[in-house]
């Protein structure tokens, strides 16, 4: 059974290491929410890292576009309660926003939330209907792939890889020093690992996958 903001059939919340995962199925027509309360308990948790994941993207330049109702109602909650990263699907491509605050690019990387669309796991990829918007840091609709998220030593690294393991895009967030942005290229083994994709995992590469590595690393 689903409430306006989610479904009770979602996997139960649990805390593992520095993660407190929960998967509510947020509905794009969610009613207004009080900033003093949240229907998603983990968003108010004290876990070192908070990653929200659901289907409809608040920020997307794909075929379906940004879900403005989700952005309007949940964006302020993500900002207020310190969500580090938002992972979504729906559009069949990959896209990463710049750190966003409100409806604008954040004035500083540490002041915003990065939104990722990871819908390139196997279903037919779809073209972007318009040119890349200024708020988008990177996007790709020609390569199938998955997202690999590693948390270690106060840093979170999210990498978008194609089926051959080539890194096409990456984002690094650091809590070691929130006052400065630095480039990070650690190759140390992860202590916590998660992979996420929101479409069928058949790795059909009949399109035109990118073979040259494209690496965009941001540390915030």
Predicted local distance difference test score (pLDDT) of residue 43? 59
Name the phi and psi angles at 73, rounded to 5.
Answer: -85, -35
Beta-carbon contacts of residue 149 (< 8 Å; ≥ 6 apart)? 51, 85, 156, 157, 158, 159, 193, 194, 195, 196
Predicted local distance difference test score (pLDDT) of residue 41? 56
Predicted local distance difference test score (pLDDT) of residue 46? 76
What whole-number distance in Å separates Cα of residue 58 and Cα of residue 42? 19
For the record, the structure tokens of 160 come out as 């978008």
- The mean-pLDDT minimum among 15-29, 151-165, 193-207 falls in 193-207
What whole-number distance in Å separates Cα of residue 92 and Cα of residue 109? 27
**Whether residue 105 has pLDDT greater than 60:** yes
Q: How many CB atoms lie within 10 A of CB 150?
A: 18
For the record, the structure tokens of 36 come out as 């003093």
Predicted local distance difference test score (pLDDT) of residue 109? 86
Q: Are 116 and 97 in contact (CB under 8 A)?
A: yes
DSSP string, 111-172: GSBEEEEE--SSSPP---SSPPPTTEEEEESS---EEEEEEETTEEEEEEE-TT--EEEEEE
pLDDT tens-place string over residues 139-192: 999 999 999 999 998 899 999 999 999 999 999 999 865 444 332 322 233 334
pLDDT tens-place string over residues 156-169: 999 999 999 999 99
Predicted local distance difference test score (pLDDT) of residue 119? 95
Q: How many CB atoms lie within 10 A of CB 198?
A: 21
Q: How distant, in Å, are the alpha carbons of 165, 171, 190 from that of 187?
A: 14, 14, 9
**Whether residue 209 has pLDDT greater than 90:** no
Predicted local distance difference test score (pLDDT) of residue 201? 33
Predicted local distance difference test score (pLDDT) of residue 20? 52
Total-model pTM:
0.68
């Amino acid at each position: 059974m689903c409430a306006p903001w989610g479904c009770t059939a979602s996997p139960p919340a649990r805390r593992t290491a520095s993660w407190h995962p929960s998967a509510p199925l947020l509905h794009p027509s969610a009613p207004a929410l009080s900033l003093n309360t949240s229907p998603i308990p983990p968003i108010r948790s004290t876990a070192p890292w908070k990653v929200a994941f659901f289907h409809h993207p608040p920020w997307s330049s794909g075929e379906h576009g940004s879900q403005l109702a989700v952005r309007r109602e949940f964006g302020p909650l993500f900002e207020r309660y310190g969500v580090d990263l938002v992972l979504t699907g729906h559009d069949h491509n990959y896209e990463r926003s710049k750190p966003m605050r409100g409806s604008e690019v954040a004035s500083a990387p540490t002041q915003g939330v990065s939104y990722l669309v990871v819908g390139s796991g196997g279903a037919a990829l779809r073209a972007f209907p318009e040119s890349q918007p200024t708020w988008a840091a990177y996007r790709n609709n020609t390569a199938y792939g998955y997202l690999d998220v590693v948390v270690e030593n106060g840093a979170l690294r999210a990498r978008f890889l194609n089926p051959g393991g080539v890194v096409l895009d990456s984002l690094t967030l650091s809590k070691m020093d929130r006052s400065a942005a630095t480039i990070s290229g650690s190759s140390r083994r992860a202590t916590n690992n998660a992979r996420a994709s929101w479409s069928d995992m058949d790795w059909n590469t009949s399109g035109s996958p990118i073979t040259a590595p494209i690496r965009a690393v941001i540390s915030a």
